[in-house]
Amino acid sequence: MSYPIRVRATALVIEKDSILLVEYRDEEGVHYNLPGGGVEPGESVTAGVHRELMEETMLEATVGPIAFVYEYAPHLNVQDSGSDIHTLYLVFECTPIEGSRPRFPDRPDGDQSGVRWIPLAELDGIIIYPNIKAHIKQFAAERRTIELIEDHQLEPYPKQVELRELKLDEDNTIYQMIQEIGEGQNGFVNSLYSNEIAEFQAKLRRNFECAQGLNLQEGYVPQTIYWLYVKGKPVGYGKLRHHLNDRLLEHGGHIGYVIRPSARGNGYGNILLREILDAAREKGIPEVLLTCNASNIASRKVIEANQGMLAEMTEDACKYWIQLFS
């Protein structure tokens, strides 16, 4: 039985107390990687380092000794990293060739947004995958090969994006977000909006009970409220109705969501809907209905980006269905 390990050729370029990193920007924000990639068939590891450095940073450099070896072994990781490929990173110290300077490549990777010299003193303020900032600073100080770095022993980053279910004892940051959102707009009713904190706390209790199907008002169905956190800060919230009645079939549907005004324009609406759809799958809901104003183009784009199929459209409203199970 074969057990393949992917070998990744990686460059460590340190010059004038700064490190050369590849910047990536996606819907969860900005993070950095060392330049590198998989070794190609028939290619030596050092040739792979040279090629990857050119492809990602356009820098010509001399490939020197190994700085450290990093191993990602998915069978040892307790946290979901999104990859099941056993990978060995061979990280080589590289020295720029005189006259060669890094720049943004002509054919960048999909999410690549830049090539940056980051001062070593500022490493703690950024996100590097994997989380090897301490090892980079150690090598820069000692200039000697570091023992094997194993991913499952590294300190994990806090989740960048997290969906949290409403609790009875929410802190003041949630109240502040609710007040910033106001009474609602574009068909979304912010029913948690309150004139004072005591009123807000009473509404939290009612919604907590509603999620359990307790003390439902006439015409209401069980509904769970979820907060979207990005980098530890609440940026929006959504409502997931567990099933529909005749009223919700016409207006409201299964899901309603809103992003606080100060966080709009960052793609969080798409993230929030995607996360709530995952929550609906966990509840066994086979398909969900979303309704929105026909003029709300931004909301329609978010729904369509999440595989929403337009079922009905009038001058005022659109109805979209999303299949959650094939």
pLDDT digits (tens, 9 = 90+) for 273-303: 999 999 999 999 999 999 999 988 989 999 9
Average pLDDT over the chain, rounded to whole?
92
- Alpha helices by DSSP H, listed for 96-171, are 133-142
As a whole number of angstroms, the distance between CA 215 and CA 40 comes to: 62
Structure tokens at 215: 């003390």
Cα distances (angstroms) measured from residue 96 to each of 50, 121, 244, 309 = 11, 21, 63, 52
Whether 79 has a pLDDT exceeding 70, the answer reads no
Whether 110 has a pLDDT exceeding 90, the answer reads no
Dihedral-angle region of residue 232 (phi above 0 means left; psi in -120 to 50 means alpha; beta otherwise)? left
Identify which has the larger pLDDT, 85 or 29: 85
Identify which has the larger pLDDT, 83 or 78: 83
Residues facing residue 317 across a β-bridge: 293
Buried b (16+ CB within 10 A) or exposed e, 68-100: bbbbbeeeebeeeeeeeeebebbbbbbebeeee
Once rounded to an integer, what is the mean pLDDT over residues 104-116?
Answer: 92
Per-residue pLDDT, 1: 46
Once rounded to an integer, what is the mean pLDDT over residues 4-9?
Answer: 93
* Residues 6 or more apart whose Cβ sits within 8 Å of residue 29: 127, 160, 230, 231
Q: Rounded to the nearest 5 degrees, what angle is found at the Cα of 190, between the Cα atoms of 185 and 191?
A: 145
Per-residue pLDDT, 25: 85
Above pLDDT 70, what percent of the chain?
97
Residue pLDDT, tens place only, 240-278: 999 999 999 999 999 999 999 999 988 899 999 999 999
Once rounded to an integer, what is the mean pLDDT over residues 132-153?
Answer: 94
Specify the 3-state DSSP secondary structure of 54: helix
Report the greatest alpha carbon distance in the chain: 76
Once rounded to an integer, what is the mean pLDDT over residues 46-60?
Answer: 97
Contact (CB, 8 A) for 61 and 10? no
Q: Cα-flanking dihedrals φ and ψ of residue 167, to 5°?
A: -120, 170
Run of H or E residues at 36 = strand 36-38
Contact (CB, 8 A) for 9 and 36? yes
Confidence band (pLDDT; 50, 70, 90) for 188?
A: confident
Once rounded to an integer, what is the mean pLDDT over residues 204-211?
Answer: 96
| DSSP state at residue 16 | T
Specify the 3-state DSSP secondary structure of 305: helix
CA 72 to chain centroid: 20
Identify which has the larger pLDDT, 113 or 185: 113
